[in-house]
Chains A and B, each alone.
Chain A
Amino acid sequence: MNLSKILKNAFLVVIFGLIVTACATKKSVKTTTESSTTSTTKAVETQKADPIEKLDALMQGDVYIGSDTVGELASGVPDRVFFATNETILTTASRETLRKQAAWLRQNPDVTVVVEGHADERGTREYNLALGERRANAAKDYLMTYGVSSDRIKVLSYGKERPVDSGSNPLSWSKNRRSVTVKAN
């Protein structure tokens, strides 16, 4: 049963991988065009465009890629991954983080975790509870494909109830769209 589940998840991940690569290629093209436009405007507007440049360094598309708020599950193992608006797809960076988490969990077989799923404040409360649950499960499924058994991973959705950043702007929201892996024992 466990094996079949792993196989099933492996299959899912292959599909996921395909989708993500497809998206990633599309997005990288888009970001280059975007950043080149912003750099031209910056040249014209001189110093005023500084915050935009900062935003570019912290978000890719609208996924947070900075390190503010990121804690550690263990030394060198980031505790969280971030999502695009209304999305539950894991980015390349997210998958890398989750592989690190899985490797550490395999080395520490007694540890159990709770994967907390979160959403930003720009959606209705109940929908966000469901979305948080979906995000946490996306992370959980990925951990499972890398050999962490499901009985070691609990999932808990907080919807939009526990933001880490209280701002009302795209950058704050990007930090709040996350799943966080927390040690449970």
Chain B
Amino acid sequence: MKKKLFFIFIIYAILKPSISFSLVEIDITRGNLDPMPISVAPFFSDKITDDKIKNNLNIENLGLEISKIIENNLEKTGLFDAIEKEAFLQKPDIAHLKPRFEDWALIKSQVLITGKVTSKIINNRDYINIEFKLWDVLGAKMVDGFSLTTIPRSWRRVGHKISDKVYERLTGESGYFDTRIIYVAEEGPKTQRVKKLALMDQDGFNTKYITLGSELVLTPRFNPANDKEITYMSYFRNMPRVYIVNLQTGEQKVVGDFRGMTFAPRFSPDGKKLIMSLAKDGNSEIWVRNLETNIQEKLTDHPSIDTSPSYSPDGKYITFNSDRSGYQQIYVMRSDGSNVKRISFGKGIYGTPVWSPRGDLIAFTKLHKKKFFIGVMRTDGSGERLLTENFYQEAPSWSPNGRIIIFYRETKTDDKGKGFSAKLWSIDLTGYNERLVKTETDASDPSWSSLLGN
């Protein structure tokens, strides 16, 4: 259905694995109100490379574009403040060899990133080599860097990989920039919404539509163990069912052979199982299907609505929501369905629990006093913290490092029923740094991939 989405060929060469790095450091566990000033020099390239790239990608200044990707990624964390390039005193090519640290300190930069783009031919095919260095301006030394070679088309991913490296180095946390988001693209009036599966880079570029909009599609989710695979729900032939799609081949298959509607799918952390709800004869239960043995098993057994299941990262537990107490609340059970315990006891109703990839928190949607909240609680239900409040929002999904939550928000319509929109938003676990995530169309049901493999 869809052709190969991408191909990347990488040769890593760590330039100088440095030992200690104590001077520049960021604590990201609190809301950071004082972003670190950082300079990202345009990556430089020679004339031959420029001509080649113009020919291949129709881009004038690839090095500048790569530096912009890095700046944009780092600034959106709220932890960094990129200094305007006009303020730079030293030329990027010389800085890449050996920065004059005083010049960078003068413009108040604590960290400097430099780089170089070179075209290469391997086996008669065009490649680009990108080298980057991360400098500690105050400590006056290089602290990290690498060089990698890739096909020209994958140049944006290089910018993301560099961003990840910088973020990891400066915060001590793993990065999340070389990732994608799968979501539902929405168009048309509220009463006749057309919905398509869409895939984009984490920063909103390279959007690709996976379905055509001829049938209703909902709740796509990445396989955390395989970034080429997603699961979602489709109303194909008016039979609402859960599907698995291979994003590389476009191959798509219905999951299981159920009489009744299957929905709310999610992969297990190892990608070998799929949990979902089956609604039949007015009752919704949670089922698991082993994708290797094709054995399926019912996990809950209750006349109430049991849905929105999500595995803990070790695969031992499942959190879900159920209205068995009268209203939607969050529960945790062992992954074999035993030991069901309610964990949400605050005021209001609770839904869409999603286990953090770190394992210590569960993100959720809460409805209280006619407002919708996105919040987090510990896995025993303690320590509830509400991060954001709005007219309508739901469907939290974690960044792979568990620092950011992406969700969707819908607007209230006016008296005439006009003004509806659905957008993706992200917020830090700290409750700070709420941001609109740009998408080509209206959007809902986001799911964040793991860091992409090669």
Contact = CB atoms under 8 A, between A and B. Distances in A.
Interface of A: 86, 88, 114, 121-127, 129-131, 133-134, 137-138, 141, 156-158, 161-169, 172
B320 to A, nearest CB: 10
13 contacts: A123-B351, A123-B367, A124-B351, A125-B218, A134-B282, A134-B283, A137-B281, A137-B282, A157-B261, A161-B193, A166-B191, A167-B415, A168-B413
B392 A122 contact: yes
Nearest to A136: B282
Contact of A133 (B190, B284, B352, B418): B284
B321 interface: yes
Nearest to B305: A130
Contacts of A123: 328, 351, 367
A121 B392 contact: yes
A125 B321 contact: no
Contacts of A130: 263, 277, 279, 284, 305, 307
A126 B191 contact: no
Contact of A126 (B277, B392, B410, B418): B277
Contacts of A131: 305
Nearest to B420: A166
Interface string B296-328: 000000000101100000000000010100011
Residue of A129, A138, A161 with most chain B CB atoms under a 10 A cut-off: A129
B417 A166 contact: yes
Interface string B362-400: 000101000000000000000000000001101100000
A39 to B, nearest CB: 24
B445 interface: yes
Interface residues of B, number: 41
B412 interface: yes
Contacts of B417: 165-168, 172
Interface string B264-308: 100000000000010101111000000000000000000001011
A121 B394 contact: no
Contacts of B261: 129, 133, 156-157
Contact of A124 (B240, B281, B394): B394
Contacts of A157: 240, 261, 279
A121 B413 CA distance: 12
Please list the 4 inter-chain residue pairs (A to B) with the smallest Cβ-Cβ separation, ordered nearest first: A137-B282, A166-B417, A166-B190, A130-B284
B40 interface: no
B189 interface: yes
A114 B261 CA distance: 14
B216 interface: yes
Contacts of A125: 218-219, 394-395, 445
B238 interface: yes
Contacts of B218: 125, 129, 161
Given A126-B277, A166-B420, A168-B412, A161 B216 contact: yes
A124 B395 contact: yes
B282 A168 contact: no
The listed residue with most B CB atoms (<10 A of its CB), out of A123, A137, A168, is A168
A163 B191 CA distance: 5
A95 B279 CA distance: 23
Interface string B193-223: 1000000000000000000000010110000
A127 B282 contact: no
A15 to B, nearest CB: 13
Given A163-B191, A166-B420, A129 B279 contact: yes
B352 A124 contact: yes
A166 B394 contact: no
Given A161-B216, A167-B417, 11 more contacts: A86-B323, A124-B394, A127-B321, A133-B282, A134-B279, A158-B216, A163-B190, A163-B191, A165-B191, A166-B417, A166-B420
B349 to A, nearest CB: 8
Given A125-B445, A157-B261, A166-B413, A133 B279 contact: yes
A126 B307 contact: yes
A162 B308 contact: no
B219 A126 contact: yes
Contacts of A127: 305, 307-308, 321, 323, 328, 351
Contacts of B392: 121-122
Interface string B152-193: 000000000000000000000000000000000000011101
Given A134-B305, A168-B413, A141 B367 contact: no
Contact of A167 (B328, B394, B413): B413
A154 to B, nearest CB: 9
Contacts of B395: 124-125
Contacts of A172: 417
Contacts of B308: 124, 126-127
A172 B219 CA distance: 25
A165 B279 CA distance: 26
A27 to B, nearest CB: 18
A130 to B, nearest CB: 4
B322 to A, nearest CB: 10
B419 to A, nearest CB: 9
Q: Which of A88, A134, A141 has the most CB of B within 10 A?
A: A134
Contact of B367 (A122, A134, A138): A122
B410 A121 contact: yes
A129 B263 contact: yes
A184 B326 CA distance: 34
Contacts of B264: 126, 129
A13 to B, nearest CB: 14
Contacts of B283: 134
Given A125-B394, A129-B261, A166 B410 contact: no
A127 B308 CA distance: 7
Most B CB contacts (10 A, CB to CB) among A114, A166, A169 go to A166
